[in-house]
Structure formats: structure tokens, C-alpha cells
Amino acid sequence: MATQHYNPNQTLLAQYDAATVVGLGVTGYSAARYLRARGLDVVVIDSREEPPLAGEFSREFPEVVVQFGAFKEEQLEQANLVVASPGIALAEPMLKRAKKKGAHIVGDIELFLQENTQAVIAITGSNGKSTVTSLVGAMCRHAGRQPLVAGNIGTPVLDTLTDSQEYDLAVLELSSFQLETTHHVPAESVAILNISADHMDRYESMGDYVLAKARITRGAKRAVMPKHDEWLAQITNVSQILGFELDEPANDNEFGLIRKSGKRWLAKGSTRLMALRDIPLVGLHNAKNVLSAFALVDFLGLPLEKLVDAVKSFSGLAHRMQTVSTANNIKWVNDSKATNIGATATALSNLEQPLVWIAGGQGKGADFSELKSVVGANIKLLILIGDDAKNIELALDGLLPISHASDMQSAVAQAAASAESGDIVLLSPACASFDMFRSFEHRGDEFSRCVEQLVEVGQ
């Protein structure tokens, strides 16, 4: 039974001499490494019989007790401090029992924020958060700052502290899973970029999902949010809210688009920031991403010309509306990171050219009928792969031509046979990838490989 009780006036590590890490993935490994470096005794448990990192971990930390196999509620019977990996839901019976008995349950982000001494910018949202996090890092770096870019992107955040990495600003991408175990985000600036149905296999309702995202505002000085989102309009616990949208700003705390001298400009209030046409990223949704990035760094007072230069040189991230080939005037676009309906809806609604669309995978309980509103006449063919192919077909039946493919190579071949000069072939799955691939990166890489192979044969 837990005997220690958390005192919010002290840091966690000042109160505990031992911790149990749940989950030995990349985050769990990083957390255990951090805790051992800070002198805590550590136990690691994982529901898998043979976690992929188990051998490496045991060689580095032979003194740490590890317990692998199906979780048992009694495993945390004596735990006072539990560090849960993002992939472990707080609804897990073992964690619920431990919390009821008084254990303090946190994640790696909470541990980082308790030790971090630099200003924090934090970003969440259903879609676009990796792009915005990376762009904010690039803007700050270009303006002479030394930002850490971490969280749900790149190096595990606790490795930064363990390895004594130098930085003067922390730019953190935070998923809803990470926010579940983060109790306070003392940030100068946070953003909730958008909200759309995702992870409905983990959350009981959209309301629960929104509440998880909204945790990012706890302790924040200012929040950047889209102006016309009904879900986010309910968030009022931040003293300053900076709105952004593709319409004209109504005041100096809003970011949007204005038209002057025959051009459209990104603007803060009536102040022009940069010309819309100078953004290298494809699609109006990326204009919103750039607006949110400007809003997030606004408090820093960085030179505008440096920020604009950073945007102009930012080419985007792999697997996010990434053009992987242009051959015979057909553009092949890899949007494999679109693992939910919202991401794919954004992609489809921001492309007006004729499309051949490849989609499908594991739908995570999503309602694919929500895609109906963005299925336009420009979509010539939908090619479906993966476990939820039939469910997508049923949801969109009668709206557009649909075919099925057994694997990515077959899907690309079908797309090539249907696409004509001026078309875009878009991989935007609206689903997770784990039924057929190791990750969304693996799925995107396979798409790119198949496209490259097809283009080479055609030359």
C-alpha cells in the first residue's frame, strides 16, 4: 500500500526514492534512464513477453528489476510513484487500482516540466502539431535562439535532461496521451491547433478527448486557438487567447489573412507578416499552421524578417503532404501521417486538382461517414487497402468510384493506371497503419518506394 503522499510544493524527485515505470518502449526506456541518473530505484513492467528494447535495457541497467507479461493489478501494490508511458491508458485496471491506493501517476512530460528552467512553448491538436512544432523551432533557431524541440517528436524529452543538453527554450509537441499524465503545463505559450475525432478506441466520447487536449492550458499564460471551433470555445481558463483563422483579424490579438496591394497577406491584426504566396508548404491548411506558429512566438519579440526567412526556407516534414515524385505531370503525394479522419479531410478539402486517392488501414473506431462532406467531384477514384477498407466503402458508397487493393504495390499500380496528366495521386489513409505496416513512416516509405519503382520502369 502506498505510504507517501505527493506535496505540490516540492518536486516529485525530492519526495520519492523509488519509481515504477510502466511500458518499456522508447519513452519508458528514457524515463527509467532519467530516474536512475537521479538516484531512484526503478522497477520496469511491460505487458509484452519480450519488449523490443528489453535486451538493450538489461545490458545497460542490469540492476533494474523488470517484469514482463500480462499486467496484474498487484504489480503496483506497493508503488508510490508510477511513470506511465503514453501508450498505457489510465483506464488500465492496474493503474486505476494504484491511483485509488494513493500512488502518484505521471508521465515523462510532467517529470521534464518539473525540472526544466527555460521558457516553454507547447503544441497539441489532432493534426498539424509536428509541422507547427518543427516550424516554431526553426523560426526560433533562425532568430538566434537555441530551442529544444521534443516531446511527441524527435528525441525523448527526458534524454535532454539526462544528457545535460543545452537549450534556452523548450518547444514541445504534446499528444493527448502525454497530456493525460501531465498535471500542470507552466508554459509561456500553448496551442490547440484543431480538434477532430481521433483515438475513439481510447476515449469514451469526443468530450473526453477534448478534455485531454485542454489539459495543455493548465498553467499556461496564453493560448493560441482557432477562432471558430465550438469545442475549443469552451476553454476560458487562460488570461490571453490569440485566435487564428483564414479570415480577416478582428483585433490585434488575432492572426489571419488580409488583402492589400492585390495580394493576400498573413497578418496580426492589421500588421502584415508575410505574403501568402511566399509560404512553400502546399494547401491553405498550412497557411493556418504558419499563422499559429507566428502567434506562438509572438511573446518573444523576435525580428520579423528572421521569422519570415525561416518560414520561406521550411520545406515541411516527411509523410505530411510530401511530394515524393512528379512524373508525366502527375504529382505523387505522401500524406501517410494522416492517421485519422480529420487529417485526411483537411488534405482533401485543400486540393482542387483531379485526385486519385489511396486510403485505408485501422480506423480506431472512427465514423468514416464524416468524410462525406469533403468528397468532391475532383476525386476520380478511391483505392482502399487494409482492415477497414470495407467500412470506408460502406460509408462512402455511391459518392465516388471505389476499388480495392491487397497491398501498397497494387494500390500504386492501380493509381498509375487511372491517373492522367495534371492529376495528383494522394496517399491519405485516414487510418492507423499497424494492420499492414510497422508505422505510418513505414507505410509512407513503402508508398514512396513503389512510386519510385514505377517511375523508373516508365522512364
Residues tagged active-site: 129, 152, 199
Query: Helices (DSSP H) in 45-125: which residue ranges?
Result: 54-60, 93-100, 108-115
**In 3-state terms, what secondary structure has residue 457?**
helix
Query: Helices (DSSP H) in 313-371: which residue ranges?
Result: 341-349
For residue 355, list its beta bridge partners: 379, 424
User: Do you know the residue count of the chain?
Assistant: 459
- Closest by CA to 374, choosing from 404, 395, 347, is 347
DSSP assigned state of 107: -
Set of cell numbers at residue 7: 506535496
CB 145 within 8 A of CB 137: no
CB 435 within 8 A of CB 414: no
Handedness of CA 419, 423, 427, 429 (dihedral sign): negative
CB 300 within 8 A of CB 312: no
Set of cell numbers at residue 350: 485543400
Residue type at 86 in one-letter notation: P
Matching residue, cell 490585434: 252
**Rounded Cα distance, 30 and 111, in Å:** 11
Buried b (16+ CB within 10 A) or exposed e, 148-185: bbbbbbbebbbbbbbeeeeeebbbbbbbbbbbbbbbeb
**Rounded Cα distance, 73 and 303, in Å:** 54
Beta strand 271-275 with 322-327: parallel, antiparallel or unpaired?
unpaired
Handedness of CA 7, 10, 13, 15 (dihedral sign): negative
